[in-house]
Amino acid sequence: MVGQMTHARLLEEVAALGGVLHHLGVANAVPVVIDLESGMDAVVAALATARLGGVVSRTDHPAAPVVIMSSGSDLPAEGRLRLVRGEDVREPDLEWEVMLRAGRTDPAACVVLEPHAPYSTERSVAEQIDVLAGLVPPYDADELRAVLQV
């Protein structure tokens, strides 16, 4: 996905990826490593992680059960599941498009988070909401990516 996306399409993608992440073990306060090349993919991954109450991490995190990455990333598996976006994905890695199709059959609901709950390793949910509230539509993928810390 590149460029602009409607709110409805963004909601659909976030809910679908959230469904996948939920079934892969992501829940409240569980870290998720996001290392994606595409701005919109990174935005979707960050929002799907936040939808479940997971903690967004741009750097490798040993407690993260899932790594969401581009096929060119060199992040090691080390007993974790790797959701990979790109060409030539090989087992045991999970292919982004296939998993998103599966996630659309069971999209994730939003969890209610306390304002002090972590959004990322650097910000609380309340701090992240304050930053997002300062954005003016239409939203640019790279601007959102920077604000969402991915």
Q: For the segment 117-150, what is each residue's pLDDT rounded down to a tens digit?
A: 999 999 999 999 999 888 887 778 888 888 899 8
Q: Write out pLDDT tens, residues 40-76.
A: 999 999 999 999 999 999 999 889 999 999 998 888 8
The neighbouring-strand residues paired with 69 are 35, 84
The conformational region for residue 96 under phi > 0 = left, psi -120 to 50 = alpha, else beta, is alpha
Q: Say whether the peptide bond before residue 31 is cis (omega within 30 degrees of 0).
A: no
Query: 134: which 2 tokens?
Result: 């300062």
Domains of the chain and any CATH numbers:
7-147 (3.40.50.980)
Query: 109: which 2 tokens?
Result: 């609901």
Q: Write out pLDDT tens, residues 9-35.
A: 889 999 999 999 999 999 999 999 999
Q: What is the distance between the alpha carbons of residues 21 and 17, in angstroms, rounded to a whole number?
A: 6
